[in-house]
Structure 1
């Protein structure tokens, strides 16, 4: 597929404030060092640092401690490598090498044991083990259980993405939206932020339809916005895991018209978020048994979701070189991608 010639990201008019942790740049350097130390990246370290994982972590959890920011930045760095290595295997038609790695990650989540040769010599697996141990060690029971549930769903969604890239495969918009909530890799990170803020919302709060609607609308806003930023790469390499490309295909629009249509969808979803937030607090306030401290904690979590929406947008626009890189826009693999990282597993 041809490269997208002219393209500009619209302003999504996110009505939220945002402040960044003052040591975000230091966290970015530490996350880059962690990736290099674990040999997830061996070349083009400067290009990897340009992703700005520490800046993103600092924007979405600015109230948390510096140690929390660094750990989140390292997890984000691992997630970017995971995503890029998965893309590499799809391009090379080598997806059989993917299963031992994801099986090892899932098994470690379930058992706490690293079994098998893939676990012992693959940097994605050993990096995950290092992060997982430190993440779960500091997590309250609720966020830990949700983190354990969300990571396998995230991995499964990458399998779905691979299926969507087979010749002739194109998911419906609704199927894509549901998949994207997990392939965005946001939910485990949101679990980390909840714990990093010192919160442990009761599961019955997370199970409220109104609370789930808040989370889903926030994740959709972030994911669809990211699809607009990443459109040049995905369009150029024929990857249809992008809401803009799918709107263009299913609604018979040009790419430029589809960008405008997605911008409109994002604005509607922002309004959905605000309405869902109001309904959530109305429901909680109508229940006499609602503990004031729980309501306060919910308000802090909701504020963190707003930080995620505006923080991700600001990071992509001003602090991340990934979406402006010429290789990325041309649909090429990242310069730091290790071709042998997973094939050796």
Structure 2
């Protein structure tokens, strides 16, 4: 596996971690076994080393234990599916076929839209999603549940786009990739979950405000660009070219090191844009403004949490990190 050096990434947000991290880890380890989501004990050991509980505990550090366990189940479930789609073998090639993925989307949306209970023997992946949704419904509002259902559909529709590109060996433009990446990465699901974790219950006119939506989008993008840097060696090893570094390199015909530097610069520029735009939000009244600031603080902590998990906790990625002063 090629050794990658990631340049210093600017991330001036508070680093925090939930005190429940070990309880989350124990819960999800049992949950994976309960739904038989992995095929071998070696795979279970590998997922334990990925330390997804630390990612969840860092990205939602102030949430309660019930939410954190439920959120970590979702995160782990998404990574299980990501590995199935990324590490295609001859016997799993059908997982990237459009007809198969469209049926998967239909099944997933059906579970959420109709609150379906699925037998774990018949379909462990759907049963695990159903279990997550049964718990999440107890923690969230009906309006949030409708939005999350749409977000899950958007995530897997973007996964179809990614899979079709991979099958046809088609290189998306940098613009196309940057538009689609926050969806097929599941970053949109992460920010949706943050609404419940932070408990801010922002009114719809705030959630639909153009500047507020831009801030949420910038936070999602920052997580994606950092992940593209941290996961680059893994994706090079598996021949997965849906990574901003490789998309930039292909479009501009520049070296890998130059593309890495450009990707880091994009990340840092958009973090700066997040902080600038945050200071320009209109006022919605003191009570709502305080809730918005809490939510934006939580978004920043989520971005920092993913970065710290990638650098300090997980064995999922291999890279050297160039620390140059404060992040």
Counterparts of 1:139 and 1:106, CA distance in 2:
17
Conserved 8 A contact 2:4-2:318: no
Aligned twin of 2:55: 56
Tell whether the 8 Å contact from 2:102 to 2:160 is kept in structure 1 after alignment: no
Q: Please give the alpha-carbon distance, in whole angstroms, between the structure 2 residues aligned to 1:93 and 1:87.
A: 10
Contact 1:227 1:243 in 2 (8 A): yes
Q: Return the TM-score normalized by structure 2.
A: 0.90
Contact in 1 for aligned 2:191/2:216 (Cα 8 Å): no
* Distance of 1:211 and 1:292 partners within structure 2: 16
Deviation string 1:134-157 (CA, Å, 9 cap, x unpaired) is 112210244323212111001111
Q: Deviations over 1:261-311 (max 9, x none)?
A: 11111111111111121122xx12xxxxx2422212111110111011111
What is the rounded CA distance, in whole Å, between the counterparts of 1:293 and 1:59 in structure 2?
27
Counterpart check, 1:293 vs 2:287: yes
Unaligned runs of 5+ in 1: 285-289, 326-345
Aligned equivalent of 1:335 = none
Aligned residue pairs: how many?
A: 313
Which contiguous aligned blocks of 4+ residues in structure 1 show a shift greater than 6 angstroms? none
* Cα drift, residue 232 of structure 1: 1.0
| Separation in 2, partners of 1:98, 1:120 | 21
Question: Could you list the per-position Cα deviations for residues 169-210 of structure 1 after superposition, in whole angstroms to 9, with x for gaps in the alignment?
Answer: 011111111111111212223222211232221121111110
The aligned counterpart of 2:38 is 41
1:321 alignment partner, one of 294, 306, 315:
315
Aligned to 1:93: 93
Cα deviation for residue 313 of structure 1 reads 0.4
SS at match of 2:6: coil
**Preserved CA contact (<8 Å) 2:16 2:61:** yes
2:105 corresponds in structure 1 to: 102
Q: Which residue of 1 aligns with 2:264?
A: 263
Cα shift at 1:13: 2.3
Partner residue in 1 for 2:65: 66
Report whether the alignment pairs 1:220 with 2:221.
yes
Matched, 1:111 2:114: yes
Partner of residue 312 from structure 1, selected from 303, 306, 309: 306
Deviation at 1:120, TM superposition (A): 6.7
Q: Partner of 2:280: helix, strand, or coil?
A: helix
Q: What secondary structure sits across from 2:132 in the alignment?
A: helix
